[in-house]
Amino acid sequence: MSAEVINRGNVVARNGVVAASQPLAVSAGLEILRRGGSAADAAIAVSAVLCVVEPGASHLGGDAFVITHHASDKSNLAFNGSGEAPHSATAERFPNVIDHHGFRSATVPGLVSTWFAIHEQFGVLPMSDLLAPAIEYAQSGFPANNGFLRRMKHHLKLYPDTKVFETLGIPTTIELGDLVTQPYLANSLIQISERGRSAFYAGEIAEKLINATNGWFNHQDLLQHHTRVSAPLTVSYRDFYVHGQPPPSQGMILLEELKIVEGFNLTNLSESEQIHLMVEAKKLAFEDRYRVLGDPEHLEVNVEELLSDEHAAKRRAQISVDKANVQPSKENQEGSDTTYFLVADRDGNALSWIQSVFHGFGASWAIPETGIIMNNRLTGFSLDQKSPNFITPGKRPAHTLNAWTITRKDGSLSHVGGTPGANVQVQTNLQLIVNAIDFGLNPQQNAEAPRWQHLNKPSETSLNENFDGVLQIEGRYPQEIQADLERKGHSVQRLSDYGHGSAVQILHVLENGTYMAGSDPRSEGHAAGI
């Protein structure tokens, strides 16, 4: 793998860094770091601002998954902020298909709970300070950028009858640079900043959710929710440890992919051979995903077996180095509207953070008079009783969200990274980690390098009778790479030069403690340091 910086340079800093998909969120995080806030403080501020300025991708009514690193004792934690199906969400209530939009498509929101779980352990500044930037942007407004307008117009094109923007108080006639004000959302954020977690799960916001859904959500659904905190899943890869999200996140699939490809000497192979092997590892890992992944509080998910050397060797042996596996595969087309960011502080602490409402604008439904968009994560469940992901009240759906960190064998932090992209997340993250560890790409080279994604949907140009999906590659890959992949049996579809859908943020911590961060030119965000 080779790459060169085309668009931007690396950000090199010593006292802290923030990388996110929206510049206003980056500025908010830096402000908190400059005021002496911890990485956790800055991350909460970034998270809240993103809900205001990128409402199509994440919101207070959505979820969050976070991996944290603590420099003082070299420890790592996984925060699982996914919500449960409400008491009303039984399979019998959905005879044919789970509602795609409306409150019946939502799980209990987990983001706000995650703010307070992280703040309780690692916060320094008061929550009122951390939510102040988001409150200001909601009250006084922020100028609509291209990303905001693009998401809104796309959603209106798909669902012209949606009432979500009317409920939020956002005119659909907004143009580039116009101020977007959200007084209802500002009031909700003020309540949370003043009254804490209970303002969302037991106060006025909760009452409005319960009343607006006619009891589809009830008090117990909200009161019983909590953010799960545990050790992350960890595997050894080359000379490093990679830390990922436990179930119900599919972060285990990223780690399984790494375990499989570790058995190949990627640096001695051609680029088409590298892509082929990683795509084949992805296919096998996703077979395991749909075979076993569900809520571990409701069924046993044998992660240890899945990430064992024996299982990796077994799966690796199923890969042909010369021929693509073209057996039809099972793979859901998951929602892809998500946002990822990272934060690190002057003390060497860092957070890898991803949050989402699942599909664009989630449930396309907001709690009246709160400005809060609900997720449609309930659609991540299955109505097949044999599935480990069968819908059940109180159960969390199998989740696409995953974030990762990498430490050296001495426990010190080496890399932090992640991306939006639903099922593409674990494919993009595989490429990022291989690029960083195997090929030594710096963060900005890594963010800009051409990427591929394997999707379980037909290509319009595919002539492969044994179609198992389409392998999309960016246009900067040489034509001979496409030809090599097609000779191996892949159905290849060429994207534009930067046509890959995900937008990554990456951090490398040099051994002397200096931060080097990169941000994807495929998004409007950036990395910045102090």
Neighbouring CB atoms inside 10 A of 231's CB total 11
Q: Is 127 helix (H, G, I), strand (E, B) or coil?
A: helix
Nearest to 491 by CA among 473, 474, 467: 467
Amino acid identity at 318: Q
Rounded distance between C-alpha atoms, residue 288 and residue 256, angstroms: 9
For residue 471, which of 487, 484, 459 has the smallest C-alpha distance?
A: 459
CB 385 within 8 A of CB 123: no
* Token duo for residue 392: 């059940």
| DSSP-derived secondary structure for 15-84 | SEEEEESSHHHHHHHHHHHHTT--HHHHHHHHHHHHHHH-TTT--TBSEEEEEEEETTTTEEEEEEEPPP
The amino acid sitting at 246 is P
Look up residue 371 and give its DSSP letter: T
Question: How do beta strands 492-494 and 470-473 pair?
Answer: parallel
- Looking at this protein, which amino acid is placed at residue 197? R
Q: Which of 338, 379, 400, 419 is catalytic?
A: 338
CB 290 within 8 A of CB 330: yes
User: SS3 of 242, please?
Assistant: strand
Which amino acid appears at position 327 of this protein? Q
Handedness of CA 286, 288, 289, 290 (dihedral sign): positive
Residue 45 sits at the vertex; the CA angle it makes with 366 and 39, to the nearest 5 degrees, is: 140
What is the Cβ-side half-sphere exposure of residue 143, based on CA atoms within 13 angstroms?
A: 6
Please report, in angstroms and rounded to a whole number, the separation of the first and last CA atoms in the chain: 31
The number of C-alpha atoms within 13 Å of 120 and in the hemisphere containing its C-beta is: 11
338 is catalytic: yes
Strands 515-519 and 505-509: antiparallel
Three-class SS state of 144: coil
Bridge partner list, 104: none
Find tokens 């890399």 and name the residue.
415
Active site residues: 338
